[in-house]
Amino acid sequence: MKLADSKVVAVGGGSGIGLAVAKAAAAAGARVVIAGRDAGKLAAAARDVGAGVATAPVDARDEGQLAALFAAQAPIDHLVVTVGPGSTRQRYTSFLEQPTADARALFDNKFWAQYLCAKLAAPHIAKGGSITLFGGGASRRPIKAMAALAAVQAAIEGLTRGMALDLAPVRVNAVAPGRIASSSFGDMPEAARQEMLDKWAAGLPVARIGLPEDAAAAALFLMQNAYSTGNILYVDGGHYLA
Ligand SMILES: NC(=O)c1ccc[n+]([C@@H]2O[C@H](COP(=O)([O-])OP(=O)(O)OC[C@H]3O[C@@H](n4cnc5c(N)ncnc54)[C@H](OP(=O)(O)O)[C@@H]3O)[C@@H](O)[C@H]2O)c1
């Protein structure tokens, strides 16, 4: 299935992996809409993607905003949701020390936002279309101090498989990235961020941290492969084996 002339809505497309998805889809000839909370960030991202991309401010935790977005963009061929879990502090805290409110926030920010995107977009997905969610490799191999995030990522995988049955013939898949150097660690001091990424790279079979483009390529594959549904595609540099 070709992406040329299809409409791709990328919620979370203003940065990181979502922006890489938007660029790749636009390069393949798709009409792309990038959505996120920060209008200024979306405008800068749109300039980066190039001509023909549209922007739509939305908070993916807000059902009313999502309903309006998807109705306005219908019919949608492919929905990709890269909304993430929140701050680095909320993501990486050991289980007993993590305030329960922070664990709940991870679910609100990532699981429930992706759930709502899929639920409210599904009626507007065109024949032959797809939904691609983003979990993460910690679902099957967490590192220390990320138990709640591992649970969020596993929940997205279960939701993906269940929706693949309930929403058929719309195809529903998920990408599960491992360690990707993107803006999602942007709230860390740069030196600490680089030290963490270097340490992670040294422990991976591929000996490098992933790029947003690595994960975006998986989303493009899932959008275009008409025989893939209920599939969880891990792009983790071999983290699971290391
Ligand atoms: N990078 C990694 O190493 C890694 C590893 C495993 C899994 N993942 C997953 O892959 C996905 C993409 O990660 P990334 O690294 O590309 O993250 P990112 O750069 O932080 O991108 C997330 C995007 O989602 C948008 N967003 C966040 N909350 C939102 C909300 N409530 N409503 C609308 N938009 C929202 C953000 O923009 P605004 O804040 O402006 O709204 C941002 O543009 C995430 O689900 C992440 O958990 C990433």
The HSE-up count of residue 72 (CA atoms within 13 Å, CB side) is 14
What's the 55 CA to ligand 1 centre distance in angstroms? 16
In a domain, 200, yes or no: yes
In a domain, 2, yes or no: no
Candidates 59, 116, 160, 182: which one to mutate for ligand 1, based on the most atoms within 8 Å of Cβ?
182
For residue 110, give the nearest of 11, 221, 240, 41 by alpha carbon. Answer: 11
| Full-model pTM | 0.98
In a domain, 1, yes or no: no
Task: Mean pLDDT check: name the lowest of 58-67, 69-78, 188-197, 213-222.
Answer: 188-197
What's the 152 CA to ligand 1 centre distance in angstroms? 14
User: What pLDDT sits at residue 121?
Assistant: 99
Which CATH number fits the domain that encloses residue 21? 3.40.50.720
Give yes or no for residue 40 having a pLDDT over 90: yes
Q: Are 78 and 128 in contact (CB under 8 A)?
A: no
In a domain, 128, yes or no: yes
Task: Mean pLDDT check: name the lowest of 68-72, 85-89, 98-102, 227-231.
Answer: 85-89
The CA dihedral of 14, 23, 82, 98, to the nearest 10 degrees, is -60
pLDDT, one tens digit per residue, over 128-156 is 999 999 999 999 999 999 999 999 999 99
User: What pLDDT sits at residue 87?
Assistant: 83
Nearest protein Cα to ligand 1, atom 11 = 82
What's the 86 CA to ligand 1 centre distance in angstroms? 8
Nearest protein Cα to ligand 1, atom 19 = 16
What value does the mean pLDDT take over residues 157-179? 98
Nearest protein Cα to ligand 1, atom 29 = 83
What's the 204 CA to ligand 1 centre distance in angstroms? 23
In a domain, 207, yes or no: yes
In a domain, 241, yes or no: no
Place of tokens 């025989």: 227
Give yes or no for residue 230 having a pLDDT over 90: yes
- For the chain, what is the mean pLDDT? 96
User: What pLDDT sits at residue 185?
Assistant: 77
For residues 219 and 232, give the distance between their C-alpha atoms in angstroms, rounded to a whole number: 10
Determine the structural domain holding residue 102 and report its residue range. 7-235
In a domain, 230, yes or no: yes
Q: Quick one: the chain helix, strand, coil %, rounded to 5?
A: 50, 20, 35
Domains identified in the chain, total number = 1
CA 113 to chain CA mean position, Å: 11
Give yes or no for residue 94 having a pLDDT over 80: yes
User: What pLDDT sits at residue 186?
Assistant: 79
Q: In what order do the strands lie in the sheet with 171-177?
A: 54-57, 31-36, 7-11, 76-81, 125-134, 171-177, 232-235
Give yes or no for residue 52 having a pLDDT over 90: no
Q: What angle do CA 220, 36, 165 make, to 5 degrees?
A: 50
